[in-house]
Amino acid sequence: MSLDEADSLLEVWDCNWPAVIAFDALSTQWRSGFDGPTGLDYSAIPTTLRLLGMKSSPALFEDIRTMEDAALRYFAFMRKKNGRP
């Protein structure tokens, strides 16, 4: 799903769009373990933000971490739903 498609399905407050765009751009930067994704590779965040023309800030980092946590919870839910530990 592209951000344009997501925009038509979800309401994202304007103040949250930078974090959504950054999180989407980091979608290939997951670290994985035996059970799947374990978290984002934080070392990729500064480069990604720079390439997007965004300034790093503690608030933006916290917003990305909040979405990371939600994604990890979803991944865990899907593993359990599909009968995997």
Cβ–Cβ < 8 Å for 40, 30:
yes
- Average pLDDT taken over every residue of the chain: 91
Using DSSP, state whether 79 is helix, strand or coil: helix
Question: What are the sequence ranges of the domains in the chain?
Answer: 3-81
Is 80 exceeded by the pLDDT of residue 31?
yes
What does the pLDDT read at residue 54? 97
Token code pair at residue 53 = 């023309």
In this prediction the pTM is 0.83
| φ and ψ at residue 55, rounded to 5 degrees | -95, 135
